[in-house]
């Protein structure tokens, strides 16, 4: 993955050959950064998103997916949306304690919270940090409903909590699958589980009684869109009961990053992909407008919609999404002690 300068930087770098490049060298190690957040619940009012709040335990993602729409967020931090996004991971070390305090506020109104929407809540570093596990424990204790989108097999570690929440109608899960082509996935999503492994995650979640959807995301024109029906069929066979899809999104730095990846790994597809993206967004390669940013518009977008609807009906992936139970929510009874503060010293 290339490491471009952020659009907010006051300077730009130019590459120069220094004789040190070794294509066989190992990938850089992950650097962990503590994110000293004052809150963990983020609220939104986006009309094309089916939730009004979310929790993201991590910033950045080790999966390293070339298309990730969350990459531009690193430019705001003065970091590269390229390599920094994959290797400098910020985590909310005290997320569970902060969440407990937020849920205990008298003004808090319970509604389903989306977990791990910006970056994956079960990315590899979660195995040892267990930030997401701590958040789940608080949500389970307070009977708070949640929705999940992940591509990680690590979610199966938490089946003990999730299965109990499912019995109380307090959780829905979705597993994202971009392609069934293992070779393509290995280069495009280098540190994410393989397509076959993700299908086994759907199988494991469904077997535990957790309502599970497949999210074909992102759907990439001229590269993966021909797999739409095959992905849906494979997910249905694994136990998925519903489905969705999201078109490739190319905001800000993602546009040149993904083009660079295509040029390197699928050079014959680059111009075709970007040409179709322009057809899907009225001549632009990305449209951030609500509604069209995830599905596109025009004849090509309508063809994709019709293909998706037809496959969903044929496969029986159109099961209604049951409403999650918010009435069972109980604010936490035991609050963590606030962090110690240094007493004010006298001036004289």
Q: How far is CA 328 from CA 138, 145, 325, in A?
A: 14, 9, 6
Looking at the DSSP bridge assignments, the partners of residue 42 are: 54
pLDDT greater than 60 at residue 136: yes
Q: Is 343 exposed, middle or buried (0-12, 13-18, 19+ CB in 10 A)?
A: exposed
**Residue 144, SS3 per DSSP:** coil
Alpha-carbon gap, residue 223 to 141, rounded angstroms: 43
Alpha-carbon gap, residue 22 to 30, rounded angstroms: 19
Alpha-carbon gap, residue 111 to 330, rounded angstroms: 12
DSSP 250-270: --TTHHHHHHHHHHHH-TTTH
pTM for the full predicted model: 0.87
Alpha-carbon gap, residue 250 to 203, rounded angstroms: 31
Confidence of residue 27 (pLDDT cuts 50, 70, 90): low
- Which pLDDT belongs to residue 289? 84
Does CATH number 3.20.20.70 belong to domain 31-315? yes
Looking at the DSSP bridge assignments, the partners of residue 54 are: 42, 114
pLDDT tens-digit profile of 84-109? Answer: 999 999 999 999 999 999 999 999 99
As a whole number, mean pLDDT of residues 122-148 equals 97
**Residue 39, SS3 per DSSP:** coil
Task: Look at the alpha carbons of 257, 263, 267, 270 in this order and tell me if their dihedral is positive or negative.
Answer: positive
Q: How far is CA 134 from CA 96, 138, 325, in A?
A: 5, 7, 21
pLDDT greater than 90 at residue 321: no
- Which pLDDT belongs to residue 77? 80
pLDDT greater than 60 at residue 24: no
As a whole number, mean pLDDT of residues 279-305 equals 90
Percent of the chain with pLDDT strictly greater than 70 = 88
Confidence of residue 333 (pLDDT cuts 50, 70, 90): confident
Domain residue extents for the chain: 31-315
Which of the residue ranges 17-21, 112-116, 249-253 would you say has the lowest mean pLDDT? 17-21
pLDDT tens-digit profile of 146-158? Answer: 999 999 999 999 9
């Amino acid at each position: 993955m290339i490491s471009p300068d952020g659009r907010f930087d006051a300077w730009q770098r130019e590459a120069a050959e220094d004789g040190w490049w070794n294509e066989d060298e190992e990938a850089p190690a992950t650097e962990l950064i503590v994110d000293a957040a004052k809150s963990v619940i983020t609220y939104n009012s986006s009309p094309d998103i089916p939730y009004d709040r979310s929790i993201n335990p991590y910033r950045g993602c080790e999966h390293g997916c070339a298309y990730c729409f969350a990459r531009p967020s690193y430019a705001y931090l003065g970091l590269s949306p390229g390599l920094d996004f994959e290797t400098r991971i910020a985590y909310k070390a005290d997320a569970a304690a902060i969440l407990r305090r937020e849920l205990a506020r008298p003004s808090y109104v319970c509604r389903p919270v989306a977990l791990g929407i910006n970056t994956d809540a079960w990315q590899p570093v979660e195995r040892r940090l267990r930030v997401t596990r701590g958040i789940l424990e608080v949500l389970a204790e307070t009977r708070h409903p949640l929705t999940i989108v992940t591509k990680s097999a690590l979610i199966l570690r938490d089946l003990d909590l999730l299965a109990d929440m499912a019995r109380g109608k307090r959780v829905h899960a979705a597993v994202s699958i971009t392609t069934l082509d293992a070779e393509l996935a290995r280069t495009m999503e280098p540190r994410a589980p393989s397509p076959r492994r993700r299908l086994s995650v759907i199988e494991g979640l469904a077997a535990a009684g957790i309502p599970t959807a497949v999210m074909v995301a992102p759907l990439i024109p001229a590269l993966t869109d021909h797999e739409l029906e095959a992905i849906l069929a494979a997910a249905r066979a694994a136990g998925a009961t519903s489905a969705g899809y999201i078109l490739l999104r190319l905001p800000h730095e993602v546009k040149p990053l993904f083009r660079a990846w295509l040029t390197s790994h699928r050079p014959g597809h680059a111009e075709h992909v970007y040409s179709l993206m322009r057809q899907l967004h009225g001549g632009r390669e990305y449209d951030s407008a609500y509604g069209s940013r995830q599905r596109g518009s025009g004849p090509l977008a309508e063809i994709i919609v019709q293909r998706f609807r037809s496959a969903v009906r044929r496969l029986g992936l159109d099961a209604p999404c049951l409403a999650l139970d918010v009435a069972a929510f109980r604010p936490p009874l035991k609050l963590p002690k606030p962090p110690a503060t240094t007493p004010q010293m006298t001036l004289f």
